[in-house]
Amino acid sequence: MNSLPLFKFGSRAKSTSLGIALCTMFIVASFSVVGGLRNSMDVLRDNFTSEMQLITMPGGSGLGYFAPSDVTGIVDEVAWGVYFEAVAEPYGSEVGIFAVVDPEGVISGLPAAYGYNVLAGADSPMFGNITLSGVNISIAGRFSSSLFPSDWLLGSIGLLWTLSGQEERCNFAISSQPLGEERAALEASGFVVQDMIGIIPFLDSGVREIEDDAFWVLIPSVTAIAILAYSFLGSETYDRRHDIGILKTVGAGRRKILLYLIVNALVISAWGGLLGLALGIVLSYGVSTIASSMFTSVFVIKASEVLLASAFLATVGAGFVGALLPALRMTLSSPVEDLKEVMPFS
């Protein structure tokens, strides 16, 4: 007796595989999001490999204005710019607009804006023509930056001078080099120097907490898979108990019956796991595409090979555990009991 053709891939098996697939998809998608956060954190850390400092001059109602030479005369590699807040019409909401002059290439990857055209941040709802402080402005495109907020507007330095009325002056500067004596000289002149990299450890600790908590996703998912496998094999063995009793009577050993029942449950779990991996990959990269367009391209969800393999093994393992109890019950029952009138499975 080389095979035991008891079970077929019928509607019960298909529905069980689909339920297992949804659980696996949830595992893959959840850990892909966590992987995306870690990837985003690594990108941010790479962008701040040098300790960038924000240099400002306190003013009466926020940022004070100063001449760029007040900073460039002390620090060699520095970008300087202007930040201004105004009400955007017809939207009727306050918006931040800024410009940066970066002759030393301190800030990498920031696009340029010209004239009265501005670039809207990836998270800004504004488009078309707007008016800021009586100046008509056209939104010419969008920008994405890990350094500046995604709802700001990026304009030319001439436009910012027009809006602020502070020609040839700025209200912030950014240095990409560690400041020692230069920092002391700046602070002696009334500037405030802030380490921009200080936010990185804070964000990294938050991502680590999310990574630790993400493993709790496995508990309800694998429990649901185990319950599905238990219900499937329990129902199937109940329906085929008489046939299994006949096989035991004609010589099928307990080990062979047990192996066959477990293999059937593993096949169902494997089918569901593979389908769940496919659905999880599609869902993960769908969320990644939406997040990249809505927020910033730094956030990229990753479904790594290790994640996919781990999710598949967790699915099959949970299916094995769930199927073990009904398989053992059917294996240990006597052929005489199996051949009698079938009682409800318990």
Q: 11 near 268, Cβ under 8 Å?
A: no
Here the tokens at position 306 are 């290790």
Q: Are strands 78-89 and 172-175 parallel, antiparallel or unpaired?
A: antiparallel
Which residues 6+ apart lie within 8 Å of 25 measured at CB?
A: 276, 277, 279, 280, 283
d(CA 124, CA 131): 15
- HSE-CB of 95 using CA atoms within 13 angstroms: 30
pLDDT in tens, 61-83: 778 999 999 998 898 889 999 99
Q: Is the pTM of this model over 0.75?
A: no
Provide the pLDDT for residue 2: 45
**pLDDT per residue of the chain (346 residues) written in tens, 0 to 9:** 444 455 666 778 888 889 999 998 888 887 777 777 766 666 666 555 456 788 999 877 778 999 999 998 898 889 999 999 999 999 888 999 999 999 888 887 788 889 999 999 888 888 899 999 999 999 999 988 877 888 899 999 999 999 999 999 999 999 887 778 888 999 999 999 887 655 556 556 666 666 666 667 778 888 999 999 888 888 877 777 777 777 777 766 778 878 888 888 888 899 999 999 999 888 877 777 776 665 544 455 666 778 788 889 999 999 899 888 888 887 777 666 656 645 444 4
pLDDT in tens, 296-320: 444 556 667 787 888 899 999 998 9
Identity of the residue numbered 88: A
Average pLDDT, the chain: 81
In the chain, where are the structural domains located?
11-45+204-339, 53-177
Here the tokens at position 178 are 């560690």
Here the tokens at position 227 are 């319950």
d(CA 6, CA 260): 9
d(CA 301, CA 32): 6
Provide the pLDDT for residue 1: 40
Provide the pLDDT for residue 13: 82
Provide the pLDDT for residue 236: 77
Alpha carbon 125 to chain centroid distance? 22
Provide the pLDDT for residue 162: 94
Provide the pLDDT for residue 169: 95
pLDDT in tens, 170-210: 999 998 877 788 889 999 999 998 876 555 565 566 666 66
With the C-alpha atoms ordered 15, 17, 21, 23, is the resulting torsion angle positive or negative? positive
